[in-house]
């Protein structure tokens, strides 16, 4: 059993506001992260991802609960250069150039990767003398990424790192991330791009309204919600369709019948052996559906809350 | 960690900002050339013989320049912190106390900049004072600019925008006019001006030159005097007003979070 690199135990944080006078941004969250783990924290806006990240970075203090990072307080982990982070709302100074920005932050760290190496890693060389205020959103994210790599951290935390990037920039970003993460760095990233969690994180933590509603290997989180879709071409009557086992729901469009099921094997076996259905495809449900499935029902029904 | 690198880079960033440097360095120096050098009354000696009128004008304009520097730097430091750069800095080894210390050094060096420049212009043109007074008025000028850091901070906390801080620095021209910084006031304007923030600080910086006497234009010579204790009360009251403003704004901000 390896020792956890981050331990969060019963952490809550609330702000004034909301119907009960307090809005619980983070509600009794307990999580541990092991060295080298790559984890996605997934959730819609307002799920509490940024507040949780701020608490891990010591930028915000929990109302209750404890948090240990690299065996000490978050602030201590930051001060010793143990954590590097790309902040979603962290601003850059618009009138510094890209290179100056990296230099000025490097000067404030106890130890850092050489500035030229970081510039290379984050792909900043061709824009090094451009003022940050004149950089595109994606370029600014790359500058922030360079700042996250700078302290040579054990833990890298990325809060919506690819916000404002187009698809190809996002892929390029994650390729760079993968290249730097091989050295056993623990990576924690918040995102609302489901495919980023699916492609880059072995573990996914789903958050909704301040709570962790699912946590596990990304594949499992996806299947936890049930789910796969089995589609076939089938000239079937309503009673034919209703006799298919293990079906949660279905829809019919012409001869195309689509079943949603927790047991795709059983459905596929039945369809292929007992009926005339053909052209079968089986597709696991997306993380988004898993997400919708896991959100307690009352939140999905408008006005019930 | 190398805090000097941070200070040097941040100083250079502020210096090359044209909006800042124009009001801090270019405008005061130009004002001094207009009001303190090129007009003929500046050659006249002050009634008490400690220096000439140019020296009197020089100190007033240098106070204005130094106050503009501290206002603009303290204000933009507050805006910087609130716009998220503070979060980035919070991910380094630099503590909040070190940030304040670093910014104070930058603001004081920036405040000294127009003072040194204007004094050099004075030295090489027509300004006359005894050597000790060159030194003591320069020191007091930089010191007098410190309360304006609280003024800038207050504006930065209240409006959270660089434009507001720029406007606040610009508004110092009015305080400077009422504070007797640019040319001697008389009558009702002087009576009003005495209660404005820059008046006490400017009169303190000029104290080695005037012993508190208020200089007027033309033949009227001295039109009154300000005892040192009144100047100190004025400075204390205005510093307290700005400091309380900062505290109230800061607690409003913390309560919201």
Cα separation, B113 vs B173, whole angstroms: 18
How near does any CA of chain B get to the CA of A79, in Å? Answer: 4
Tokens, residue A142: 């790359």
CB-nearest partner of A91 from B88, B92, B256: B88
**A104 vs B10: CB contact, 8 Å cut-off?**
yes
Q: What confidence score (pLDDT) does residue A303 get?
A: 35
* CA gap B163, B148 in Å, rounded: 17
Question: So what's the pLDDT on residue A305?
Answer: 36
How far is the alpha carbon of B77 from chain A, nearest alpha carbon, in Å? 11
Residue-level pLDDT at A178 = 77
- Using CA atoms, how far apart are residues B48 and B222, in angstroms rounded to an integer? 10
Model ipTM value: 0.83
Say whether A85 and B3 touch across the interface (CB within 8 A). no
Look at B92 and A83 and tell me if their CB atoms are within 8 Å. no
Contacts of B87 in chain A (CB under 8 A): 59, 87, 89-91
The answer to whether the CB of A73 falls within 8 A of the CB of A61 is: no
Distance from CA of B3 to the nearest CA of A (A): 6
Q: Does B217 touch chain A (CB under 8 A)?
A: no
Could you say which of A79, A81, A93 has the minimum Cβ distance to residue B80?
A93
- pLDDT at position B138 over 90: yes
Residue B29 has pLDDT above 90, yes or no: yes
CB A234 within 8 A of CB A278: yes
In chain A, which among 67-106 make CB contacts under 8 A with chain B? Answer: 78-81, 83-85, 87, 89-93, 95-96, 100, 103-105
pLDDT at B43: 85
The answer to whether the CB atoms of B5 and A78 lie below 8 A apart is no
Q: How far apart are CA B102 and CA B67, in angstroms?
A: 18
| pLDDT, position A1 | 46
- pLDDT, residue B226, reads 87
List pLDDT tens digits, range A283-302.
Answer: 877 766 767 777 664 444 33
Chain A residues with CB under 8 Å of B17 CB are 95
Chain B residues with beta carbon closer than 8 angstroms to that of A109: 1, 92-93
* pLDDT tens-digit map of B170-220: 899 999 999 999 888 888 898 899 999 999 999 999 999 988 888 876 665
Contact A90 B9 (CB under 8 A): no
Q: Where do the structural domains in chain A lie, given as residue ranges?
A: 6-82+153-223, 228-284
Chain B's closest residue to A88, CA to CA, is B84
Surface-to-core class of residue B105, CB atoms within 10 Å of its CB (0-12 exposed, 13-18 middle, 19+ buried): middle
Token couple for B159 = 């409006």
pLDDT of residue A197: 84
For A81-99, what is the mean pLDDT? 89
Mutate: best of A97, A104, A149, partner B, most B CBs <10 A = A104
Answer whether A90 sits within 8 Å of B13, measured CB to CB. Answer: no
Do residue B9 and residue A83 have CB atoms under 8 angstroms apart?
no
Mutate to test the interface with B, among A60, A94, A95, A108 (most CBs of B within 10 A): A108
Q: Which residues of B touch A69 (CB under 8 A)?
A: none
Quick check: B176 and B114 in contact, CB under 8 A?
no
pLDDT of residue A18: 67
Contact list, A81 vs chain B (CB under 8 Å): 93
Instruction: Give the best residue of A91, A115, A149, A151 to mutate against chain B (max B CB count within 10 A).
Output: A91
Q: Which fold has domain A6-82+153-223?
A: Rossmann fold (3.40.50)
> What was the pLDDT predicted at B224?
79
pLDDT for residue B77: 92
Between chain A and chain B, the number of residue pairs with CB atoms below 8 A apart is 76
Mutate which of B10, B14, B19, B88 to test chain A, going by most A C-beta atoms within 10 A? B88
Distance between CA atoms of residues A157 and A177, nearest Å = 11
Which residues in A lie closer than 8 A to residue B89 (C-beta atoms)?
108
Looking at the predicted structure, is the pLDDT value of residue A304 above 50? Answer: no
Which of the pair, A3 or A99, is modelled with greater confidence? Answer: A99
B180 φ/ψ sector (left φ>0, alpha ψ -120 to 50, else beta): left
Contacts of B5 in chain A (CB under 8 A): 103-104, 107
Using a CB-CB cut-off of 8 Å, the residues of chain B touching A79 are 93
pLDDT tens profile A191-211? 887 778 888 888 999 888 899
pLDDT over threshold 90, residue A236: no
- Which of B6, B9, B87 lies at the smallest CB-CB distance from A87? B87
- pLDDT, position B84: 84
Res. A35: pLDDT tops 50: yes
- Show the 3-state SS of chain A: CCCCCEEEEEEEEEEECCCCCEEEEEEEEEEEECCCCEEEEECCCCCCHHHHHHHHCCCCCCCEEEEEECCECHHHHHHCCCEEEECCCCCCCCCCEHHHHHHHHHCCCCCCCCHHHHHHHCCCHHHCCCEHHHCCHHHHHHHHHHHHHCCCCCEEEEECCCCCCCHHHHHHHHHHHHHHHCCCCEEEEEECCHHHHHHHCCEEEEEECCEEEEEEEHHHHHHHCCCEEEEEECCCCHHHHHCCCCEEEEEEECCEEEEEECCHHHHHHHHHHHCCCEEEEEEECCHHHHHHHHCCHHHHCCCCC
Contact A106, A150 (CB under 8 A): yes
Of A59, A80, A83, the CB nearest to B87: A59
* pLDDT band at residue B95 using 50, 70 and 90 as cut-offs: confident
* Separation CA A135–CA B194 (nearest Å): 48
Residue A106: pLDDT above 50?
Answer: yes
Report how far residue B91's alpha carbon sits from residue A153's, in angstroms, rounded to the nearest whole number. 11
Query: What's the pLDDT at B208?
Result: 92
Question: Comparing B96 with B257, which gets the higher pLDDT?
Answer: B96
Pairing state of beta strands A256-261 and A278-284? Answer: unpaired
Distance, in angstroms, between B12 CA and closest chain A CA? 10
**Paired sense of beta strands B222-225 and A256-261, if any:** unpaired
Farthest CA pair distance, chain B: 63
Q: Is the pTM of this model over 0.90?
A: no
Contact A110 B84 (CB under 8 A): no
Q: What are the backbone angles phi and psi of residue A281, rounded to the nearest 5°?
A: -130, 140
Q: Are the Cβ atoms of B2 and A89 closer than 8 angstroms?
A: no
B96 shares contact with chain A (CB less than 8 Å): no
């Amino acid at each position: 059993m390896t020792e956890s690199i981050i331990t969060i135990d019963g952490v809550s944080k609330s702000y004034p506001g909301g119907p009960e006078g307090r809005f619980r941004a983070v509600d009794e969250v307990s999580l541990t992260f092991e060295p080298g783990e790559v984890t996605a924290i997934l959730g819609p806006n307002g799920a509490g991802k940024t507040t949780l990240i701020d608490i891990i970075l010591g930028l915000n203090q929990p109302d209750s609960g404890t948090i240990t990072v690299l065996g000490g307080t978050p602030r201590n982990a930051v001060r010793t250069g143990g954590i590097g982070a790309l902040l979603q709302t962290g601003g850059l100074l618009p009138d510094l150039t890209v290179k100056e920005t990296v230099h000025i932050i490097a000067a404030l760290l106890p130890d850092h990767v050489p500035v030229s190496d970081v510039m290379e890693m984050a792909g900043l060389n061709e824009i090094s003398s451009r003022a940050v205020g004149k950089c595109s959103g994606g370029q600014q994210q790359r500058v922030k990424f360079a700042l996250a790599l700078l302290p040579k951290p054990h833990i890298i935390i990325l809060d919506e790192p690819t916000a404002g990037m187009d698809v190809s920039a996002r892929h390029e970003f994650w390729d760079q991330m993968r290249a730097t993460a091989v050295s056993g760095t623990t990576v924690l990233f918040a995102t609302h791009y489901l495919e980023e969690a699916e492609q880059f994180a072995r573990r996914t933590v789903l958050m909704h309204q301040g709570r962790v509603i699912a946590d596990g290997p990304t594949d499992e989180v996806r299947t936890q919600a049930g789910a796969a879709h089995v589609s076939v071409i089938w000239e079937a009557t309503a009673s034919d369709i209703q006799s298919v086992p293990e079906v949660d729901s279905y829809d019919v469009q012409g001869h195309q019948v689509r079943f949603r099921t927790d047991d795709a094997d059983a459905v596929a076996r039945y369809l292929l052996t007992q009926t005339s259905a053909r052209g079968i495809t089986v597709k696991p449900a997306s993380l988004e559906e898993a997400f919708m499935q896991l959100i307690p029902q009352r939140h999905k029904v408008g006005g019930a809350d | 960690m190398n805090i000097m690198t941070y200070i040097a880079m941040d100083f250079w960033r502020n210096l090359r900002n044209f909006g800042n440097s124009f009001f801090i360095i270019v405008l005061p120096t130009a004002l001094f050339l207009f009001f303190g050098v090129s007009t003929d009354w500046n050659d006249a000696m002050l009634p008490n013989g400690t220096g000439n009128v140019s020296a009197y004008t020089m100190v007033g304009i240098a106070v204005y320049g130094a106050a503009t520097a501290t206002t603009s730097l303290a204000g933009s430091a507050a805006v910087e912190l609130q716009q998220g750069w503070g979060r980035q800095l919070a991910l380094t080894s630099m503590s909040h106390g070190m940030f304040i210390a670093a910014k104070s050094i930058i603001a004081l060096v920036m405040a000294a900049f127009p003072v040194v420049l204007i004094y050099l212009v004075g030295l090489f043109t027509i300004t006359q004072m005894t050597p000790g007074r060159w030194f003591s008025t320069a020191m007091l000028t930089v010191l007098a600019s410190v309360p304006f850091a609280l003024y800038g901070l207050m504006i930065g906390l209240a409006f959270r925008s660089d434009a507001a801080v720029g406007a606040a620095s610009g508004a110092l021209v009015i305080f400077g006019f009422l504070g007797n910084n640019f040319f001697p006031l008389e009558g009702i304007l002087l009576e009003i001006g005495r209660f404005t923030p820059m008046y006490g600080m400017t009169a303190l910086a000029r104290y080695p030159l005037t012993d508190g006497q208020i200089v007027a234009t033309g033949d009227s010579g001295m039109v009154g005097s300000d005892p040192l204790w009144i100047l100190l009360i004025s400075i204390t009251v205005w510093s307290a007003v700005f400091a309380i403003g900062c505290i109230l704004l800061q607690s409003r901000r913390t309560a919201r979070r």
